[in-house]
Structure 1
Amino acid sequence: MASGVEELLDMLFDMVDEAKNVPLSSDRCMIERDRALDLIDDIRAQFPVELSEAKKVMASRADLIASAKREAEAIRRQAEEKAKQVLSEETILLQAKQRANELMQQAEDRSRELKRSANEYCEDALRRTEEAVAEAYNEIKQSRARFRAAASSTAGGQAPSGGRPMYDAAADED
C-alpha cells in the first residue's frame, strides 16, 4: 500500500489515464469503481496525517523564523553596542591625541620661552661681568698710573734700601 497522499494521487491519476474509453465517447472512460474509491478513501485517510505533519512543519517553521528574528535582533543590538563602544573609544582616542598635541605645543612654547629667558639672563650676566671687569681694569690702570706717579715723585730722593721706590697706599686714597 502507498504511504503518502502524493503517491496515492499518482496512482489515481495513472488509473484514470490508463482507463479505456467508453464506446462512442472520447472524454469518458471506464475505471474500477471499487479500486478508485479505495484510493480516494486512502487519500482521505492520509490527509489528516499529512495536514497534521504540514501544520507541525508550519509551526516549526514559524518558531524557526521567530527564533531567527530574535537572534538577528540580538546580533543587531550587539553590533550597535559594539559600534557605539568603538565610536566612543575612537572619540576618546581622538581627544587624547588632541590633548597630547596641545601639551606638546605648550611644552615647546615653554621650552622656547625658557631658552629665550636663559639667553637673556646669560647675556645680562655676561654684560655685567664685562662691565665689572672693564671697571676693575680701569681701576687697575688708574692705580698703576698713580703708582707710577707716586713712584716717580719718590724716585727723586727716597729710595728704600733695596733700591726700589716704595708705594704709599694711604697717599693714593686721597
Structure 2
Amino acid sequence: MEKEYFVQYSDQSIINSFSFPKDVFASISIGMTDITNDLIISLVQKMFGLPVFFVLNSMIFGYEKETLISNNIPFFEFSSDGAVIKVDSTEKLHLISKLAEELVSNGLSVFIFHGNDLSEQDLIPPKHWMDKPLVFENLDVNKLETFVDIEEVGFTIFTKSSLFDSPEKIPNYIPNDYLLNIDSSDI
C-alpha cells in the first residue's frame, strides 16, 4: 500500500517560526506520517547531493553519540546532547539518516542544511528551540541554499533553489512509494 503525502505553501506561522529572510527563501511544507531513513536518504540525494549538515537537537537515548564515535564519524557537540554532523559520504548518510529517523519518530526535530562554505559552528541552534523565531546566530544566510526541518508529521523546506521552490516541483523529489494527495495540496 502506498503512503500518502501532501504539499503546500507553508502557513505564515511556520514561516515566522524561523528567522530567514521571507523575501529570499520560499517555504514549502510536506505532510506525511511515515518519515523513514530511506525517505531522508532519497531527499538528500535527489535534492542536494553531498555534503549536507544534520543538526540533532538532542541525542536522547544515549546510543546516538556512541554510534557516531564507534563509526568514526566526527561531530560538533554544541550541548550536552546536541550535535552538528557534516555528512559527506553515502555511508555517513545512511547511518545519520537512521539516527534522524529514530529521533523524528520520537517527536524531535532534525534539521538538514545545504549551502556553500557552511561549517558546523555556523549551524549551532539557540539553547531553547522552543523560542520563536528560531535564530541561528552564527549562520550567514547568504551561504545557505536550503534548510529542511524534519518532524514526525512531515517536513518544511526553506529554499533559494528554483529547483524545488514551489509545491508543483516537490513531487519530483519524493520516492515513488509515496502517493501525492492532490486534493490536499497546493497544486
TM-score range, shorter chain: under 0.3
Q: Which has the higher strand share?
A: 2
- What is the TM-score when the length of structure 2 is the normalising length? 0.14
Please say which structure displays the higher CA radius of gyration. Answer: 1
Q: Which has the higher helix share?
A: 1
